[in-house]
Structure 1
């Protein structure tokens, strides 16, 4: 068998595997949307919570999910990008950097339930806050910061290869080069990390069970020190407690709504990133 034939065979196999993965993903999404198509009902989202006849009223949980996303990104994005800048442009190989990288890898491998228990110990008990939206956001920051730092480091390192020497040769300082040249060039890669992080924040439940709680106390919507049940936690509660007659139907609608919201957010973030790149 000659090399060209082998190449065609393995290329075909890889295409088939890729198509199978895509079809499986599409089938899963369509199944979720079909089972939860009643989420399109206005009352399912914004109506009062009710039980029976596919009751919903998941608006508070949807708001909490978006609010949790905003607070978590506001904390984790500056720290993650800063860590990426330090590791790629300022750090020198030594014991401290090796320990730092080991710590990042270790935290990245932790199950979300472990991070949730750690958050329960620190942000709920020792702090005296109780179950709060801020505690949940801090737990999610710990969970997602390693991935965001690694993506930022790789994107900044790759961008620096193209523009760093040119900027320094024209008289720019190191900080000017990083702030005005490297980070804008690396922005598409950083945005990808932010989108991945945001998707995990939307869908995370285990870490929030022990930190933000399972109640929707929306007195003072913007108060970060209140309990905040997100949509993912609400789905878990419906499927675990068994006290709601149509729990499965509500959970299906909430799951479909969650999938649609994640898709809309991802598309909006990419469109915004492209527009920012055109006008920078």
Structure 2
């Protein structure tokens, strides 16, 4: 009996030691892969930023682009990028959050809603050029308004709407059911529970979704080329929604592929640095309220 017990104890100890080795090996493997990915991303960002940021000037950022001569700027393209981003977010965020909350809280569990979810997931993974073709069919051919800022902004909103819907739905579903039940137990209505409990609890995931769609919209080029064009009105602060709407990403593509200016490489390096820097700032700015909230909770 003692021999059997000692034998089983030795087998258990050896098995436990083997599991520890496996756990440590897997941990080292995961940390190694994660470190390689982080280093690759940091190196890529450094490569882009170090080529352009040191040479940036205010005249370049606010100046008008040039077709033939050196020294052109990115002012109108940069303004159009922010202008269309604001319009597209003003459309996609409210509609996407409303659709996500409906699917998470109000939609019945049936085949129709299941089909709708499949369609939303499919649209979230559709290539952006498809939304550009849809924008052409809607704004250029049906409404016949040409390549305009409003056409590009609404097409960007259509592009980001499925992503915002799915992110919101998953963020709401991730809130523990006990939190929702506690709100009902205190006498709150369903709408009050959504406004004061579910959305604040899911705000981190929702903000992550907003960062994703904002960065995607600001750096998008295919949709803009097809719906807003590759030119600007030539004015720095043009709020006319029917003006052509070349953005910074489109300007970068145009300079690299079509432009004949002598300093095309320098322009593209600086434009790429501005584009990456702005997208990084989006993530920081959107995260600041969450950091403040977390510090207050602590």
Provide TM-score, normalisation by structure 2.
0.87
Q: C-alpha deviations, 1:80-108, integer Å up to 9, x for none? A: 10011101100111132022112112211
Please list every run of 5 or more consecutive structure 2 residues that lacks an aligned counterpart in the other structure. Answer: 1-16
CA–CA distance in 2 between the matches of 1:58 and 1:153?
Answer: 38
- Superposition CA RMSD, Å: 2.0
Q: Match for residue 8 of structure 2?
A: none
Conservation of the 8 A alpha-carbon contact between 1:139 and 1:207: yes
1:244 aligns with 2:246: no
Structure 2 CA distance, aligned partners of 1:48 and 1:72? 24
- Tell me how far apart the structure 2 counterparts of residues 162 and 193 of structure 1 sit (CA, whole Å): 24
8 Å contact kept, 2:139–2:151: yes
Q: Which residue of 2 aligns with 1:259?
A: 276
Note the C-alpha offset of 1:49: 3.2
1:278 Cα deviation after fit: 7.2
Distance 1:70 1:168 in 2: 36
State whether structure 2 residue 143 is matched by structure 1 residue 127.
Answer: yes
1:221 to 238, 247, 258: 238
Q: Do 2:64 and 2:234's aligned partners in 1 also have CA atoms closer than 8 Å? A: no
Give the paired residue count. Answer: 279
In 1: Cα distance, 2:295 partner to 2:196 partner: 15
Question: For the structure 1 residues 273 and 233, does the alpha-carbon distance in structure 2 shift closer, same or farther, using more than 3 Å as the test?
Answer: same
* Structure-1 residue corresponding to 2:206: 190
Q: 2:99 aligns with which of 68, 83, 105?
A: 83
Relative to structure 1, the CA distance from residue 61 to residue 276 in structure 2 (aligned partners, 3 Å threshold; closer, same or farther) is farther
Contact 1:235-1:254 within 8 A present in 2 as well: yes
Give TM-score, length-normalised by structure 1.
0.93
Q: Which structure 1 segments of 5+ residues have no match?
A: none
Alignment equivalent of 1:30, drawn from 42, 46, 49: 46
- Preserved CA contact (<8 Å) 2:147 2:229: yes
Question: After superposition, what is the alpha-carbon deviation per residue over 1:175-208, rounded to whole angstroms, capped at 9, x for unaligned?
Answer: 1111222112211111110001101011100111
3-state SS of paired residue (1:2): helix
Residue 151 of structure 1 is aligned with which of 159, 162, 167?
A: 167
